[in-house]
Amino acid sequence: MGAYMISVNDLKTGLTLELDNGLWSVVEFLHVKPGKGAAFVRSKLKNVETGQVVEKTFRAGEKVAKAVLDRREMQYLYKEGNDFVMMDLESYEQLPVSSDKIGDGIKYLKENMNVQILMHNGNIIGIDLPNFVELEVIDTPPAEKGNTAQGGSKPATLEGGAVVNVPFFIQVGDKLRIDTRTNEYLDRV
């Protein structure tokens, strides 16, 4: 099996575990040491395949299986039906990745963007996007007179479909840098 045992005391955010015949990514965790009784680790886990989030409590020091994931850098080429065609940058092999494996990240995908494809036992289980992407604004309301003051914001739709709040001076056609982890506007490029 592509896993080895680690202690829950060594959990990190983003780590992938094999539990109950599924792969679970650690969203957050907290070590709890009550005054009486045994210490434990409270965690929030997200099913890599279904996106379901559950809370799970482990005894401190309990052993869990850490999944060994193969990360491969690939380039997103184009969309075909419900699939996103990726090219392996080492072998130049092209692989279709279904939209459900990409999840919410679809809205940041742009042709020729490099992404990390996560594989487990030869199956694609998901993708990791760059933390920052540059995308063009395709729709946003025009700035109204008197609305250019600091502090206000308006929604902008970006080329992949992401909607982010942006300052009033942003216009259609502007290229923006977005943090894919928080869906926040950083600056104009």
State pLDDT tens for residues 55-69: 999 999 999 999 988
CATH number, position 82: 2.40.50.140
Q: Are residues 181 and 169 in the same domain?
A: yes
Looking at 17, 36, 67, the residue that finishes a domain is 67
Q: What is the pLDDT of residue 51?
A: 79
Q: Are residues 9 and 63 in the same domain?
A: yes
What mean pLDDT do residues 109-114 have?
94
Q: Are residues 104 and 157 in the same domain?
A: no
Q: What domain count does the chain have?
A: 3
Q: Are residues 98 and 111 in the same domain?
A: yes
Q: Are residues 63 and 52 in the same domain?
A: yes
What mean pLDDT do residues 153-161 have?
93
What mean pLDDT do residues 23-31 have?
92
For the cut 90, the answer to whether the pLDDT of residue 158 exceeds it is yes
Round to whole Å and give the CA distance between 155 and 147: 14
Looking at 50, 67, 84, the residue that finishes a domain is 67
Q: Which two tokens stand for residue 122?
A: 């030869």
| CA 43-132-104 angle, 5° bins | 55
Q: Are residues 27 and 81 in the same domain?
A: no
Q: Are residues 56 and 18 in the same domain?
A: yes
Own/partner long-range contacts of 58-63 (Cβ < 8 Å, ≥24 apart): 58/8, 59/8, 60/8, 60/9, 60/31, 60/33, 61/7, 61/8, 61/9, 62/7, 62/8, 63/5, 63/6, 63/7, 63/8
Q: Are residues 104 and 137 in the same domain?
A: no
Q: Are residues 92 and 105 in the same domain?
A: yes
Q: What is the pLDDT of residue 78?
A: 95
Domain that holds residue 173: 132-188
Looking at 67, 96, 111, the residue that finishes a domain is 67
Phi-psi region for residue 84, left (φ > 0), alpha (ψ -120 to 50) or beta? beta
